[in-house]
Structure 1
């Protein structure tokens, strides 16, 4: 029961003949209303005074020409759009609204923002909440004048197994955007095909589109009506997800960057075949051959691509590398499909391309089978291993680390610069092997003055000292062999409990590994905390009987040893 509203009437209408409470309540209400009016007036005066303070303290911008102030505002606006970089608090509701943030400082700044159309060129629309914002959108577009627009449209989501959706946007919203189609420079769309068709079909897109980002929610593609345009869209940057490209007029001659997710194999290869200027390409979750475009035979030779990122395909025959040759590739980022077979497609691609790779990132999940994939991929520079099992996967990882620790030529992964491992369990033997690996790297304490030099380099030979006998001189000669350029090792312990890490011998091995000369060694728990420091603190507290109970009481770690155990 709402006790404040059960008898809600004025004192003059009180039904009681004698009532002292109602007149008193009416007086209190009048006093509260008076105080509220005074508070509103004070707030308004404060805003006016704050504006004067901002104006008088703005000693720099007041003296600068308008042209320079304009450039400063545009640079600040780019920073404000990425609010994660801000070092100060932002007013609530001003996210992604640089002109509102800048215009709230003072009248002069507000006048500058209102006269600067380039500040009003970014417009993001949520179709399910458009009704109360149409007037704001109209004013926003008006302030952008004739400047190129970046339009983001986030449509209604699919709901339920029947595919029902939230209420579709009114034609007024679609029409409002279509009026300015000639100024679209960057287009971002996520939603059902029907909304995309209504927005794009026969629109007046005349300006070159730099960025096109399309994510179509899963639908029956056979029922999609194709989009028709007066001229095809030829973007420089294309981000596309689950979108039938055969139903959109597109050209590829300007394309330099591609990010394709959940696309069919033949669609991806069609883009690669025609995008002769592609430099950077990300392809993930290829879902098989749709049969609309013919697959290339022999493989495509693409001479402009420099960066390629590949995620694991859903099907064995959907690997894009089967149909590609990239002789000038410099950076390759590859996630292995599974741990049951050798990545033969990747190996064949590397042999066929013979590219001058300087960065090769390889992500692999260790499984129950011991597969010597590392023997076949010597070009790996950055390795990420997932070791999620407790028995078979650990055994496979131990075999790999023992192979990595061998110093005999040829080295396993001779170009490895970074090693990242995600593990549920770390056995004691792991640290001694890792210490040897780090110790014997180019930057480790076991590296000689010739570490990393080519065996054919004449500078790798140190002349013998004339004062040393010949036999001893031969013994003191440094071994001329290649050392692995390992710089960084990152290990994350994913289990909730890491009691074994607090044992003294394990801590000493971790410290020895860190002191082996490796440039960067990080050991983290599943929350990202430094595990070496945490283990040392726990071990220290355990060895101090007078502080053990207090430390256990103040710690969130639930695996403290009992008094009897220590």
Structure 2
């Protein structure tokens, strides 16, 4: 049967009984049952509250932690459960990984959920609330401003580690949900405490940058991962206040260097997913105290103009330099530029990681000869010849009074080479120092050696002069002996697993 009309709801309360004088027996019974149900509900609420009180007493009796220790000591124990976040850094494998990574459940909320007494202690321990992860999108965004404000209030007056991020949405839903969500109240709650921010991580669309405002006098670490179209990012600007912050550690991704309003002279640790060559020059000019510099992609457009003279730049404090120039960007200039920079700076560089592309091994050797302080060297995308191994073998041990500049990489501990092999397998074992008890002999501390080899093939045979893929058995035996003696040796064919020690 099809009924297209509305069905009238029936009143079963007994209030509209058609009996002339008194309600019928059914209505009386319903009224009585309703009263009993309400009494039962009231009793249930009373019993539930009583149960909570008894449970609290039970927890206090059975909780040896709270019973046996002063509240101040319990609070200290709770603080030790809080894992300090690692320093912000670009991911090794994927620049988007940090943006997409799931945030773990906060330890403070886990502790507060155990029982009422633990919750009271957790809520009154400011250190538990100094790590703040704030999401500015999602279906429950209306509650986020109050939650953020409460969290920040519990942190008292302590420095804050703040991560503000936008949930990555499906393309079909992102536009709709962002139209409905207004994150401005969340930023208002943050801005009231922004003067206490010591570490700031931002992962959201560039249009929200203007909502974050305030003085940040103690800002030490800054991570910017701003999203948007290429045109939008070109006009993005990070400006918190008239007084610029002075962070020491700065990581930027997909944002112009010139759009980051900070005091660059204070920066000692810098990482970027991509910079133009002009931006690199500006960075080196404005940050003379750099100790660690990592640039994953260096780009150059045809219209780019470098207003600075690179010959005026020095980085005397530089210890780690990681350069990965994009292949279309004048790789032939890289060897001379790196050599010139290190010579002028007279820096005690300890780690160099560089993609050499069309640079030759001889050029690489000329560069690292100027870096006697180098402890870790990683170079890739070039032809590997015997020359570098012969130089290392000839200087595995030197006299104590030999000037460091006369020894090839005297402090080298880690060597990583990646490229096409054109060397003799027998040239590898001699690069490691032999045990020597002479007190006036200095041994090179090389203990870690990694080779990632790309064998090129021309038809069924190997390219002329290329290293054979099969390692000589005698060489294998010697390398195994070195491994047994504590050396870390790793030789890999990047195309397959046929090359094994």
Q: TM-score range by the shorter chain?
A: 0.5 to 0.7
The within-5 A match list for 1:17-416 is 55-78=60-83, 95-129=104-138, 130-155=141-166, 167=178, 169-170=181-182, 171-196=184-209, 198-200=210-212, 203-217=213-227, 218-220=229-231, 221-224=233-236, 227=239, 229-288=241-300, 294-298=307-311, 300-314=313-327, 315-317=329-331, 319=334, 321=338, 324-325=341-342, 326-338=345-357, 340-342=358-360, 346-352=364-370, 354-357=371-374, 359-365=375-381, 378-379=408-409, 381-386=413-418, 393=420, 396=421, 399-405=423-429, 416=446
Q: Displacement, 1:136?
A: 2.2
In 1, are the aligned partners of 2:386 and 2:427 still within 8 Å (CA)?
no
Structure 2: 5+ residue runs without aligned partners?
A: 1-8, 13-40, 88-101, 393-407, 434-442, 456-466
Query: Taking structure 1 as reference, are residues 256 and 135 closer, same or farther at Cα in structure 2, changes over 3 Å only?
Result: same
Q: Distance in 1 between matches of 2:103 and 2:274?
A: 34
Query: Taking structure 1 as reference, are residues 228 and 321 closer, same or farther at Cα in structure 2, changes over 3 Å only?
Result: same
Q: Distance in 2 between matches of 1:370 and 1:154?
A: 48
If each structure's strand is expressed as a fraction of its own residues, which one has the higher value?
2
In 2, are the aligned partners of 1:253 and 1:276 still within 8 Å (CA)?
yes
Query: Taking structure 1 as reference, are residues 111 and 308 closer, same or farther at Cα in structure 2, changes over 3 Å only?
Result: same
Q: What is the Cα-based RMSD across aligned positions, in Å?
A: 4.8
Q: Displacement, 1:491?
A: 4.6
In 2, are the aligned partners of 1:159 and 1:166 still within 8 Å (CA)?
no
Q: Distance in 2 between matches of 1:442 and 1:281?
A: 32
Tell me the TM-score normalized by structure 2: 0.64
In 1, are the aligned partners of 2:136 and 2:164 still within 8 Å (CA)?
yes
Q: Distance in 2 between matches of 1:420 and 1:165?
A: 50
Q: Distance in 2 between matches of 1:284 and 1:119?
A: 35
Q: Displacement, 1:206?
A: 4.1
Q: Distance in 2 between matches of 1:165 and 1:95?
A: 27
Query: Taking structure 1 as reference, are residues 270 and 69 closer, same or farther at Cα in structure 2, changes over 3 Å only?
Result: farther
In 2, are the aligned partners of 1:155 and 1:195 still within 8 Å (CA)?
no
Q: Distance in 2 between matches of 1:97 and 1:345?
A: 51
The within-5 A match list for 1:422-441 is 422=452, 429-430=470-471, 432-438=473-479
In 2, are the aligned partners of 1:254 and 1:275 still within 8 Å (CA)?
yes
In 1, are the aligned partners of 2:299 and 2:325 still within 8 Å (CA)?
no
Q: Secondary structure, in 3 states, of the residue corresponding to 2:146?
A: helix
Q: Displacement, 1:204?
A: 1.9
In 2, are the aligned partners of 1:241 and 1:260 still within 8 Å (CA)?
yes
Q: Displacement, 1:96?
A: 3.7
Q: Displacement, 1:310?
A: 3.2
Q: Secondary structure, in 3 states, of the residue corresponding to 2:111?
A: helix
Structure 1: 5+ residue runs without aligned partners?
A: 1-8, 13-36, 83-92, 388-392, 445-485, 502-509, 514-566
Q: Displacement, 1:166?
A: 6.2
In 2, are the aligned partners of 1:423 and 1:493 still within 8 Å (CA)?
yes
The range that moved more, 117-126 or 282-291, is 282-291
Greater RCO, 1 or 2 (C-alpha within 8 Å, sep 6+): 2
Q: Displacement, 1:46?
A: 9.6
The within-5 A match list for 1:452-463 is none
Aligned position for 1:419: 449
